[in-house]
């Protein structure tokens, strides 16, 4: 008689509610969502990806990964029927806006599903810094930002706390069972300044597989030429960085290296960006890069002069993978290297950025040291295997202790009770209004 095989456990079913359909070659945020998806697929978990967004031209092939794609509608009862039938074990909200929109519906129809929030970065922190830069510049694009990059945690909290964006974003973090944070600096800000319990947060940065932490045969110093900057033009920090490069930083570099060339790559290049192209100045707008790692690996130095932003920077991760040193600001370097050496140079003003860029471009020994620093940093801080294992362990542990975890999170319970009621009634009012038009 054949021995009866033990029943296999039912795989966990994850529903991801996307703010957009992921475009990992266009933005680091989408890249991080795809990395989380990889972690879940490696466990054999079933995944459904749902979004109300319009598909972009660089959308990832989710179907090819065996992921079910579902188009959903905002402020519509059809989602209730969808989620009731699906009954996922885990729901991942991509950005706090999706938690606001669908969180109350998920809680109502799937009360036992773990609710995860993928923050990508703290939008309220990015917005606060953007406003601070505008105030400092006061209409003068080259104004001195001395002191701005040393803004303390208390100063950031004071600037953020009164804003509608911060109140909504931090409330969504409280309401969620667990929020996934790419930046350990932002975890510190939330726990120390905003009093978010550490048990509500989990650090999972951008991930790099161990076999990608250094190219098999990287191009050496002499085989590379020119500077590069890369980033989605729809992302305000990237656009500001390109303008700062064009108007201030790049002319200072060209004054020292008259033959230098800069190639600017970015998805969704608007006419205002294309108009910056000037071959005579060595400033080349290249539009979208089909293979970002290929163009990054051919450049000698990457420039990321970010004056505001949050989270961590995919462009700097890509540069490290390619062995390309980066010159950036303290905003760009934030949460990127911990106690280890930054793989390039960090400066606070245009002249400092230009001098560091020229030094890295011309000093082979310094360039090679920065390259080695990047390859050391990647496995130490961004290991796919280590962070995926920790995330899966955290989710599985949460499944076993979910009632107690929620009881301990009284602030989240209170916020769900009040906020979800107001959100529910607003959504239902919009739905009823749409039916009558």
The secondary structure of residue 200, as a DSSP letter, is: G
**Average pLDDT rounded to a whole number, residues 413-433:** 68
pLDDT band at 1 (very low <50, low <70, confident <90, very high): very low
C-alpha span between 299 and 43 (Å, rounded): 37
Q: What are the tens digits of pLDDT across the range 301-349?
A: 999 999 999 999 999 999 999 999 999 999 999 999 999 999 999 999 9
Mean pLDDT is lowest, of 222-226, 296-300, 411-415, for: 411-415
**Which percentage of the chain shows pLDDT scores above 70?**
93
pLDDT band at 421 (very low <50, low <70, confident <90, very high): low
pLDDT band at 10 (very low <50, low <70, confident <90, very high): confident
Q: What is residue 198's predicted lDDT score, i.e. its pLDDT?
A: 96
Are 217 and 251 in contact by the 8 Å Cβ rule? The answer is no
**Average pLDDT rounded to a whole number, residues 403-413:** 94
Q: What are the DSSP calls for 41-69, one per residue?
A: HHTT-EEEEEE-SPPPTT---SGGGT-EE
**Average pLDDT rounded to a whole number, residues 273-292:** 94
Q: Name the percent of the chain in helix, strand, coil, to the closest 5.
A: 50, 15, 35
Flag whether pLDDT at 6 surpasses 60: no
Q: What is residue 287's predicted lDDT score, i.e. its pLDDT?
A: 84
CA angle in degrees (0–180, nearest 5) for 316-39-88? 130
Task: Supply 172's token pair.
Answer: 């969504």
Q: What is residue 57's predicted lDDT score, i.e. its pLDDT?
A: 84
pTM value is: 0.92
**Average pLDDT rounded to a whole number, residues 220-239:** 95
Domains and CATH numbers, the chain: 13-207+385-426 (3.40.50.2000), 211-381 (3.40.50.2000)
Flag whether pLDDT at 426 surpasses 70: no
Report the Cα 66 to chain-centroid distance in Å. Answer: 24
Q: What is residue 147's predicted lDDT score, i.e. its pLDDT?
A: 85
Average pLDDT, the chain: 92
Q: What is residue 288's predicted lDDT score, i.e. its pLDDT?
A: 86
C-alpha span between 180 and 312 (Å, rounded): 13
Flag whether pLDDT at 144 surpasses 90: no
Task: Supply 150's token pair.
Answer: 């040393």
Flag whether pLDDT at 170 surpasses 70: yes
Are 353 and 333 in contact by the 8 Å Cβ rule? The answer is no
Q: What are the tens digits of pLDDT across the range 190-210?
A: 999 999 999 999 999 999 998
Give the DSSP H/E element, type plus range, for residue 234.
none
In 3D space, the residue among 357, 367, 374 whose CA is nearest the CA of residue 321 turns out to be 374
Q: What are the tens digits of pLDDT across the range 21-30?
A: 999 988 889 9
The secondary structure of residue 193, as a DSSP letter, is: T
C-alpha span between 362 and 326 (Å, rounded): 14
Flag whether pLDDT at 7 surpasses 70: no
Longest CA pairwise span in the chain (Å): 85
**Average pLDDT rounded to a whole number, residues 149-157:** 94
Are 342 and 369 in contact by the 8 Å Cβ rule? The answer is no
C-alpha span between 364 and 21 (Å, rounded): 42
């Amino acid at each position: 008689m054949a021995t009866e095989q033990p029943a296999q456990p039912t795989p966990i079913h994850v529903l991801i509610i996307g703010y957009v359909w992921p475009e990992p070659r266009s933005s680091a945020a989408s890249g991080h969502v795809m990395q989380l998806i990889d972690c879940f697929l490696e466990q054999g978990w079933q995944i459904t990806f749902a979004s109300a967004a319009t598909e972009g031209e660089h959308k990832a092939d989710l179907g090819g990964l065996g992921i079910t794609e579902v188009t959903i509608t905002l402020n519509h009862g059809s989602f209730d029927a969808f989620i009731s039938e699906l009954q996922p074990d885990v729901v991942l909200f991509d950005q706090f806006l999706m938690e606001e929109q669908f969180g109350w519906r998920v809680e109502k129809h799937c009360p036992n599903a773990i609710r995860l929030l993928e923050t990508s970065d703290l939008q309220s922190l990015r917005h606060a810094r953007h406003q601070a830069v505008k105030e400092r510049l006061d209409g003068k694009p080259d104004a001195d930002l001395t002191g701005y990059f040393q803004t303390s945690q208390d100063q950031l909290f004071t600037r953020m706390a009164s804003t509608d964006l911060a109140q909504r974003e931090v409330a969504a973090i409280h309401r969620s069972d667990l929020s996934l944070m790419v930046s350990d600096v932002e975890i510190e800000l939330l726990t120390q300044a905003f009093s978010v319990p550490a048990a509500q947060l989990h650090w999972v940065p951008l991930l790099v597989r161990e076999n990608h932490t250094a190219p098999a045969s990287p191009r050496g110093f002499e085989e590379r030429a020119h500077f590069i900057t890369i980033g989605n033009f729809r992302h305000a920090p990237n656009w500001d960085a390109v303008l700062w490069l064009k108007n201030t930083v790049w002319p200072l570099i060209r004054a020292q290296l008259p033959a230098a060339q800069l190639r600017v790559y970015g998805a969704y290049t608007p006419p205002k960006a294309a108009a910056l192209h000037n071959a005579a100045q060595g400033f080349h707008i290249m539009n979208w890069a089909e293979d970002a790692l290929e163009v990054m690996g051919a450049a000698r130095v990457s420039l990321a002069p970010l004056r505001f932003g949050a989270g961590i920077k995919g462009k700097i991760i890509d540069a490290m993978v390619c062995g390309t040193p980066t010159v950036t600001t303290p905003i760009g370097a934030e949460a990127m290297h911990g106690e280890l050496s930054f793989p390039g140079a960090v400066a606070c003003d245009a002249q400092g950025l230009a001098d560091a860029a020229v030094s890295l471009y011309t000093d082979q020994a310094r360039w090679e040291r920065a390259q080695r620093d990047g390859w050391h940093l990647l496995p130490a801080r961004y290991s796919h295997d280590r962070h995926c294992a920790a995330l899966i362990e955290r989710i599985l542990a949460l499944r076993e202790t979910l009632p107690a975890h929620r009881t301990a999170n009284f602030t989240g319970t209170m916020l769900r009770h009040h906020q979800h009621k107001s959100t529910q009634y607003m959504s239902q009012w919009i739905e009823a209004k749409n039916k009558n038009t």
